[in-house]
Amino acid sequence: QVQLVESGGGLVQAGGSLRLSCAASGRTFGITTMGWFRQAPGKEREFVAAIYWIGGGTYYADSVKGRFTISKDNAKNTLYLQMNSLKPGDTAVYYCAAKRTAVFVTTREYDYWGQGTQVTVSS
């Protein structure tokens, strides 16, 4: 099993920044891809960004391109999401996810999920 623990969420004003972290532990060998998803009240969980653990190729949702940056620290088994120019529409619970296959990385077909961290952007 793989355990994922997110941190870094909070309340921020529109235009501000936050950095989310996700610490991975357990049987992390074989993880190829990690990603961030978010879920706002009354909405489905949606893809935000993903990164290949080896190689570092990245994918972003159109809604966050140019504002969010996904990165990783392989030595620390930690995933990050730097969020700049935040908008009220970014308010959601943000989830870290990991998968062993390197396909369909923008869908919700991930093997492991964290508990989520709340991000609230005030106008």
Query: pLDDT for 1-58, tens place per residue?
Result: 999 999 999 999 999 999 999 999 999 999 999 999 999 999 999 999 999 998 889 9
Say which DSSP state 101 is in.
Answer: S
Segment 69-89 shows an average pLDDT of 97
CA angle 42-18-99, nearest 5°? 65
In angstroms, rounded to a whole number, what is the distance separating the alpha carbons of residues 8 and 55?
Answer: 25
Rounded to a whole number of angstroms, the distance between the first and last alpha carbons of the chain is: 40
Residue 79 has pLDDT above 90, yes or no: yes
In angstroms, rounded to a whole number, what is the distance separating the alpha carbons of residues 108 and 3?
Answer: 17
Least confident of 39-43, 70-74, 101-105, 118-122: 101-105
Segment 56-80 shows an average pLDDT of 96
> Do you know the residue count of the chain?
123
